[in-house]
Structure 1
Amino acid sequence: MKSNAITVLTTVATDEQANKLIEVLLESRLAACIQTQNIGSHYVWDGKICHDEEVMLIIKSTNEAYSRLERTIIANHDYEVPQIVALPIEAGYRPYLNWLKQHVNPY
């Protein structure tokens, strides 16, 4: 059985920004769980190669909540063009996926 769960990835510049976004998303019930990881990002911006340390947010949500989740990230993000990508969770431990769905309110 296919899941409607998704993992949304975004990055922020600091732990403070990560914590702010995490609070907003969890309080809004747009995510059931958010994990963070310190990463190095390497990309091209304004024609220049950039290397930055960032915090990646690994957000567990649902397809139904994605539009609101994306709008909320954009409204609370410091970047001009934040990374916001959704990856489907094709399968998983059913009790976990049920818990995830119960803790996300798409409306």
Structure 2
Amino acid sequence: MIVVMVACGSEDEAQHIARLLVEAHLAACVNIIPIRSLFEWDGKIEDQSERLLLIKSMKSRFDQIRDMVKANHSYELPEITAMDIASASEEYADWIKTVCGLGK
């Protein structure tokens, strides 16, 4: 199981990408969280309001998630990072596998 993080520039973009991922069974659940990001871009420090997607999925789905995000994201270089989940309740992990089409 993994959680993929993607920062989006707007609520609309975040909802669009989240819905695509869930409808395609690439994610079992996507949380959309308002965040503020500070980063360097083109030699300048940027300070922006964004939406962070926390995408709950399986490691075997990462490449498809990455490709779908890239195809639908407005940023030239979107953040697409993933963390392995070391532990989860068995029931929750089974639900993620089932929703993502990987069975139990």
Letter in 1 for 2:24: S
Q: Point out where structure 1 has 5 or more consecutive residues left out of the alignment.
A: none
- Quick one: percent identity of the two aligned structures? 32
TM-score (norm 2): 0.95
In structure 1, distance between residues paired with 2:16 and 2:26: 14
Equivalence for 1:50:
46
Deviation per CA, 1:12-32: give whole Å up to 9, x if none: 111110111011111111000
In structure 2, distance between residues paired with 1:38 and 1:77: 17
Give the deviation of 1:94 after TM superposition. 0.7
Equivalence for 1:102:
98
Is 1:34 aligned to 2:36, yes or no?
Answer: no
CA contact (8 A) 1:65 1:105 kept: no
TM-score (norm 1): 0.92
Letter in 2 for 1:30: L
Is 1:70 aligned to 2:66, yes or no?
Answer: yes
In structure 2, distance between residues paired with 1:34 and 1:46: 30
Aligned-residue Cα RMSD (Å) equals 0.9
- From 80, 87, 97, give the equivalent of 1:84: 80
In structure 1, distance between residues paired with 2:79 and 2:95: 26
Q: Point out where structure 2 has 5 or more consecutive residues left out of the alignment.
A: none
Equivalence for 1:10:
6
**Size of the alignment, in residue pairs?**
102
Runs (4+) off by over 4 Å: none
